[in-house]
Amino acid sequence: MPGDSAITLRSLQVDQKSWTVRLRVLRPGSEIACGTNLLSRIRKMIMVDEEGTRIGVVIFKDEIQQFNHIFENHKSYAISNGQVQRSNQDYFNAHPLMELVLKKYTTVKEIGETINVDSTIVYNFMKFPDIDSTIHNRKAIDVCGIVIKVKDKKKTHTARGATKYVREITLMDNECHSVIVSLWEDMATNEGGELQEIAAENPVISLAQVTARKYQGELQLQTTMASIMQIYPTNDEVQHLQAWLAQINDPLKIQALAMKERIKKANKVTLHEIIHNRFLLSEDEYYFFKATVNKVENKSYIWYDSCTKCNSAISKNGDTMACRKCNIEPSYRLLLNVTQENERALITIFEEAAMLYVGCPVNEYLMSVEKEENDSKYFRGLSLQTGMEFQFLIALNKKATIVNGQLNVVAEAIEKIQLENQKPAKHVDKIVQRKKLNTLQDEDEILMGTSKAKNSNTTTKRRQTKKNINCDENVYISSDDDETIQQLFKKIKKKSDSTYGSKDVQFIQVKKEKS
């Protein structure tokens, strides 16, 4: 077939026998198990022609090998002959009427000059607040956004018993509305994998033909067999978004803005309402409350030191900490002891919430405390935030428990409450100071690993230490205090080193002794 006889998808007819089309790969797809008992295998690509018309290209089990090493993402091909079949209207399709099935007799030739897609792919972007999950779970939509989070791909079992891969990413728009997008199957692997590699730079993407649904009262998007993703596409909306992003130019700030907006959308409650009237609240909603942080319970061990994938110990790997097998970084897990009025909660924070609390990514933190904890401004910052107020966003699901009148819950987002006057009033100052004293006292107990350490000598010493602590926001613990604290840390470090791999156990023991 000579190349000049190629036609556009617009003039291709269902059931046409002899044809040549010139198409570029938009979604490479991968071989996946499907059908009854997962016995069938299929690879489905999405391709586009010079005019921007998209079409699904199906390769069934027996032909997968034949085309395996031919198609590559972003490359263009002249494809001749195959089955042009009517698409099933029950499902989402890249082309409204038809799809191509590649057969044994189909011929494929790569085109040297690839087909340009910069101006031909037309999107009809919806703003996140305008998306209606009741309408748009049947009607696919287009969105664009800044990628602010890329989670690992994971295997999951559907209600029908199929095993599928899914990867969650989070998109944010220029009004700080964020939405989780589940990338399924080949998109979790291919596009999702690509995004994961560049996640640190917060890439901007466009997505076409995704669907919406609600989970715990929040909007979520899902890819379909017809969805496509473009990373850094050239259309105006996305470039506008990128310019807005460049102004912020701070990954931590971006996370903070997204969390703040999520909190704004949630239902406000008091700790009292949750603890005493939980039955009045919904399990499928997000709530937020304001509380004062009294201390970080696991101050010296605010990260998991085993790989989330293979469970082996994470160790220093060049300039970073990572699992040598999986190259997975450690992750934060902070336990915050908080109060509101007379009510107590133990709040667990991970990921971006923890990063905001600590002030840097986990690897930076681990490097900063490698030699000596008190050399780290982030470590010292953990103590300096005691007595401060935060908003906490929580889901009141089954994992949230109330034990002995205390709420135990994971907060997905936090927001530091900015005081109008940086310097607290005098009487407040005293209260805060007292709180700090108590905190230090508690900390001593943890550090010593026993409450027996409370002899008169150490108590006096503690008092003296406390006098030096100023409660002004900008004040640092004086060097003398640091020395005292450092020594205590050394003691507990020695202790924890001897009980290798049981850091959490030690923490629990300490807690037990306290009660």
List residues binding DNA (CB under 7 A): 34-36, 40, 42, 44, 58, 60-62, 85, 87-88, 91-93, 99, 101, 103, 137, 156-160, 162, 164, 166, 168, 182, 184-185, 211, 215, 220, 222-226, 350-351, 399, 410, 412
Of the pair 115, 141, the CB lying nearest DNA is at 141
From the centroid of its chain, how far is CA 366? 20
Question: Collapsing DSSP states into helix, strand and coil, what is residue 251?
Answer: helix
Q: How far is the CB of 227 from DNA (least distance, A)?
A: 8
Q: How far is the CB of 40 from DNA (least distance, A)?
A: 4
In the bound state with DNA, the residue whose beta carbon lies nearer, of 182 and 386, is: 182
CB 142 within 8 A of CB 125: yes
C-alpha to C-alpha distance for 441 and 514, rounded to whole angstroms = 12
In this complex, which beta carbon is closest to DNA, that of residue 244 or of residue 301? 301
Please list the residues that pair with 46 across neighbouring strands. 27, 56
Q: Which residues pair with 144 in a beta bridge?
A: 206
Structure token pair of residue 67: 């085309």
CB nearer to DNA: give 40 or 327.
40
Type and span of the H or E element at 226: strand 218-231
Q: Which CB sits closer to DNA, 214 or 272? A: 214
Q: Nearer to DNA by C-beta: 144 or 183?
A: 183
Transcribe 304-366 into DSSP letters: --B-TTT-PBPEEETTEEE-TTT-PPP-BEEEEEEEETTEEEEEEEEHHHHHHHHTS-HHHHH
| Nearest-angstrom CA–CA distance, 76 and 98 | 20
Q: Pick the closer one to DNA by CB: 160 or 494.
A: 160
Q: How far is the CB of 412 from DNA (least distance, A)?
A: 5
Least distance in Å: CB of 476 to DNA? 32
Residue whose CB is less far from DNA, 13 or 40: 40
Minimum gap (Å) between residue 330 Cβ and DNA: 13
Rounded to whole angstroms, what are the CA distances from 215 to 42, 180, 465?
Answer: 30, 10, 50
CB atoms closer than 10 angstroms to residue 397: 12
Q: Collect all residues with Cβ–Cβ distance below 8 Å to 427 and sequence separation of at least 6.
A: none
Residue carrying the six token digits 């902070």: 334
Closest to DNA by CB, 227 vs 496, is 227
Question: Shortest approach of DNA to residue 404 CB, angstroms?
Answer: 24
Give Cα separations from 331 to 53, 138, 355, 503 (angstroms). 43, 37, 10, 15
Smallest distance, DNA to C-beta of residue 353, A: 8
State in angstroms the smallest separation of the CB of 168 from DNA: 6
- Distance in Å, CB of 503 to DNA, minimum: 18
Report in angstroms how near the CB of residue 209 gets to DNA at its nearest. 9
Looking at beta carbons only, is 85 or 174 nearer to DNA?
Answer: 85
Residue 424 CB neighbours (<10 A): 17
The single-letter code of the amino acid at 325 is K
| H helical segments located in 160-221 | 186-197
Name the residue among 162, 206, 164 with its Cα closest to residue 181. 206
Q: Which one, of 34, 7, 186, 184, lies nearest residue 100 by Cα?
A: 7
Q: Whats the size of the chain, residue-wise? A: 515
